[in-house]
Structure 1
């Protein structure tokens, strides 16, 4: 009899694991409360070389080809830029010509992975609890329908994971102190001046008092990682800026979370104006599709490996944001979940081959995941801490004083 694995959560990590298990011949069931796989954030995620390598272990080569044909290659982008709140250039990021990372619409990647999971994906199923049955086997309970038992249960149910909370006896992450707001703006909808300044690149502007604006450039058609139009299934069909506005948490920013669409868009513009941002730098927000504008809180787990997955090894485990919830400031959260899935699959292969026990496999998987999680959280929290540092009296003054000097130095250099 083969091993039966139940995966709770059909986000990127859960679907990647489900796809890999199915491909390797394991008996697997992935349960997700969503009823539509495409009903996910219309934003993009970065899949770096390590995550791409993991995907090649999990899904068939043709799925990887379709992903690359629907992805925007970083190497075809201009070097990233750093600006102040007036839009003055402060510096540039590294040369990307040798970078094999790609950006892909979250919806596209989720659809591809769901296709690979096939009829082992069960939508519209909400998990209410996990635990061990009288026979000692882990089981999953649902708000509707009877329990399902398995040899192994994996929680891939995100930052507010029911599975990880059950294992840890409480939350596995906490608010990082920043609230984010995101939206989508077509390159062609901007004025010529802003098209020129923003360019075909991603960029970050940081101002005093905990305000920052990330502008991500996505073009899966013009910058396709693989030139195969017949395989393309990207949601984004032309040069687009997918931006993220960030503010430190406060009563004022908390009230913004209740707003939606155009109302939220106007409130964001007002807040940036109050903090002295130049009008042209706000055009990317002002000309966004109002229905794309949404708020989300940044949650973060501990950056210390020893504090991740703080539970004794058993036949219930978790991966991705359920364990190492990561703010989007490093663009590595989804990639890390894919790498977790590939690592768990490798360890379960060892069990199937008779090379190790399930307990040893889960133990080794969790040890590796703690290291991975610590590494990406450390990177992501650097930007978070920089933004938080500008919200002190000294930090605000230092930001206001130093950014024009940096901008002037850049102008002299060019």
Structure 2
């Protein structure tokens, strides 16, 4: 059975790795020539995603991943702050949490090694369909084509494959633009480093302004103490932050800026909305070359609205189907779980089933996985958007001091 995977992101490479290990004939095509040139900075894999990945890659690759990852169980409890930097709440105890944080580049390179020669970089797919014999076909920008028994679109939010299947887009803008960057803990003042700590945190202010700060340390907080296996692109304690604002003409104007100019404009935008100066140091001291903008896109949260096509020999997974904002840290993990589940069901084809039957069972489970991730991610998106009204802004400003006072009392 020959499987063609369109897209060499996390989900596509994970599927390609699993198919190769199980002895399927597979080809993964990606338009990038440089797999290290990827968007995003780090991703979180919970216990389910870790388990799924273990079904797709070799034990040695899993060990290399863990040696290059930051363990959530070694972090402080997550925090919720207000715009003044006052603590207003904490997340759950992480001591027994199986999850990890890993650089997106690190994970992508590890998966690419597993796919090996079945990965074809620099190949842009321009079309998908079926040939005269009914077999799926993939068309390339150079005019060539290839046939397969099954085609899987793992080509992200703007998926060509999913658009072909659905007859249109499978997601829409969520109403928020994000701006991300990297800041070394060593570049912060001792006071700010102590306040942020070895944790991830979130602050939401009036008028839709929000700031997420994630802690990543694959050396000091390594999930597996095996320096000889380490290959993380992050080599010291680092904060990966994301600033969020509702879509508006003012936000759109920021998107045209780059590097230091964008960093300065973001700090200025938060200042205008009354954020305390010390809460903005993590942005002001960021590597200017790391600062970038991206739009939040989201598929429908209802499972019944995901993958709205009959099962066949062309399918899709990950963000191509259930595009998920990063506000729950579940998008990449859901794509990996999709890949493991599709591989599981394709195993039935070897026992006499058909690809269409396997795809039908896979898509039923994918709808549920995607709905779960989207529901959690959109809660935060809706919270941010709810503060972008006169009533929401006033409520946020009035309740923050009360919550901060209550948090202080709980710590006594």
- CA shift, 1:145, in A, is 4.1
- CA shift, 1:412, in A, is 2.2
Residue aligned with 1:209, SS: helix
2:404 corresponds in structure 1 to 407
2:349 corresponds in structure 1 to 351
Spell out, residue by residue over 1:278-330, the C-alpha distance to the aligned partner (whole angstroms, 9 max, x if none). 00100000000000000000000000000000111111000000000000000
2:273 corresponds in structure 1 to 275
| 1:112-131 equivalences in 2 (<5 Å) | 112-131=110-129
Question: Structure 1 residue 380 and structure 2 residue 377: aligned?
Answer: yes
Residue aligned with 1:312, SS: coil
- CA shift, 1:21, in A, is 0.4
Q: Distance in 2 between matches of 1:341 and 1:159?
A: 16
Spell out, residue by residue over 1:336-382, the C-alpha distance to the aligned partner (whole angstroms, 9 max, x if none). 0000000000011110122x221111100000000000011000001
Query: Structure 2 residue aligned with 1:398, among 384, 395, 399?
Result: 395
2:317 corresponds in structure 1 to 319
2:212 corresponds in structure 1 to 214
Q: Which runs of 4+ in 1 moved over 4 A?
A: none
2:153 corresponds in structure 1 to 155
Q: Distance in 2 between matches of 1:6 and 1:410?
A: 53
Q: Distance in 2 between matches of 1:329 and 1:413?
A: 27
Q: Distance in 1 between matches of 2:154 and 2:40?
A: 20
Q: Distance in 1 between matches of 2:27 and 2:5?
A: 6
Query: Structure 1 residue aligned with 2:72, among 49, 74, 77?
Result: 74
2:363 corresponds in structure 1 to 366
Residue aligned with 2:347, SS: helix
2:96 corresponds in structure 1 to 98
- Number of matched residues? 411
Query: Structure 1 residue aligned with 2:331, among 333, 358, 368?
Result: 333
TM-score where L is the length of structure 1: 0.99
Q: Distance in 1 between matches of 2:230 and 2:124?
A: 32
Q: Distance in 1 between matches of 2:210 and 2:252?
A: 16
Q: Distance in 1 between matches of 2:351 and 2:27?
A: 21
Q: Distance in 1 between matches of 2:39 and 2:183?
A: 15
Spell out, residue by residue over 1:230-262, the C-alpha distance to the aligned partner (whole angstroms, 9 max, x if none). 000000000000000000111110111111111
| 1:297-308 equivalences in 2 (<5 Å) | 297-308=295-306
Q: Distance in 1 between matches of 2:39 and 2:136?
A: 32
| 1:11-50 equivalences in 2 (<5 Å) | 11-41=9-39, 43-50=41-48
2:340 corresponds in structure 1 to 342
- CA shift, 1:42, in A, is 5.2
Q: Distance in 1 between matches of 2:282 and 2:387?
A: 23
Residue aligned with 1:395, SS: helix
- CA shift, 1:41, in A, is 2.6
Q: Distance in 1 between matches of 2:407 and 2:113?
A: 48
Residue aligned with 2:169, SS: coil
Q: Distance in 2 between matches of 1:340 and 1:210?
A: 32
Residue aligned with 1:341, SS: helix
Unaligned runs of 5+ in 2: none
Q: Distance in 2 between matches of 1:85 and 1:136?
A: 58
Q: Distance in 2 between matches of 1:413 and 1:168?
A: 51
Q: Distance in 2 between matches of 1:100 and 1:364?
A: 28
